[in-house]
Copies of this chain bind each other. A is one copy, B any other.
């Protein structure tokens, strides 16, 4: 990879630019706001102008609802030979790209998993992607050369590629990110009902569970709406399990049978087993 175009001078786009520059890639930062592109150039993310020749890859790093029209525009301009993007939902992306008449052979949907505390980082960092998972979701239409270019991009950013078809990606994102965010949000919202002295009892456990509940509501509304089906499936599964657990608890309390809590204990053990499946590192501070 020799050249890359970053479309969108936010923290993610600039972090990609910084990461690629470490490897000698000539990066260009394009933004609808020329002032934002100029600031990105000052930060070292790349020169604030479109490439004269098509770049090896363009990274569309704009808000999720704008990806398809911006992609269509740059494919018309011939900004790059291969295109990727960084939104959190893939099925809707391909629908919208198709509806905008985009060339799907040169498109590789991507999703770097770098959000913390439910939000993107506010400042760009060249090591933002280091060791993080970065999903790539090619379709049957995707050219293998385009996919290999996207794999190279992820490697140069220091991240770990995870190949998932768009439907599998969206179900996985609902499971490991979108539903947990809503769960944290619901847990935090319940505190609005608790009185002052109840909230005084809050310890580290509650802080951990609700930590990600202060994400950007606008960005999340967009993401959740885009992935509504898989997220709703997760929530329904949740609701059913929480209801079952409530009944089990009342039964255990009512029966007074000392053997009865075995099922409750089994549920708690499966939680510990599920947690053990999450790869490390676990060492990020709470705030």
- Taking Cβ atoms with an 8 Å cutoff, the residues of A that contact B are 111, 113-118, 132-133, 135, 160, 162-164, 168-169, 171-173, 175-177, 179-195, 197-215, 217-218, 220-222, 224-225, 228-229, 231-243, 245-247, 249-250, 252-253, 261, 264-265, 267-279, 282-287
Decide: A176 and B189 in contact? CB cutoff 8 A: no
Decide: A208 and B212 in contact? CB cutoff 8 A: yes
Decide: B168 and A241 in contact? CB cutoff 8 A: no
Decide: A274 and B188 in contact? CB cutoff 8 A: yes
Decide: A253 and B237 in contact? CB cutoff 8 A: no
Decide: A190 and B265 in contact? CB cutoff 8 A: no
Closest to A177 in B: B205
When A133-B200, A194-B175, A265-B221 are in contact, do A285 and B287 touch as well, CB less than 8 Å? Answer: no
- A132 CB to closest chain B CB (Å) equals 7
Decide: B277 and A133 in contact? CB cutoff 8 A: no
Decide: A213 and B271 in contact? CB cutoff 8 A: yes
B residues within 8 A CB of A225? Answer: 249, 252-253, 261, 264
Decide: B229 and A250 in contact? CB cutoff 8 A: yes
Q: Which of B184, B224, B242, B286 touches A239 (beta carbons < 8 Å)?
A: B242
Q: Which of B111, B116, B199, B234 touches A205 (beta carbons < 8 Å)?
A: B116
Closest to A198 in B: B172
Q: Can you spell out 8 A-B residue pairs with CB atoms less than 8 angstroms apart?
A: A171-B198, A173-B201, A176-B205, A192-B273, A199-B279, A228-B253, A239-B240, A282-B287
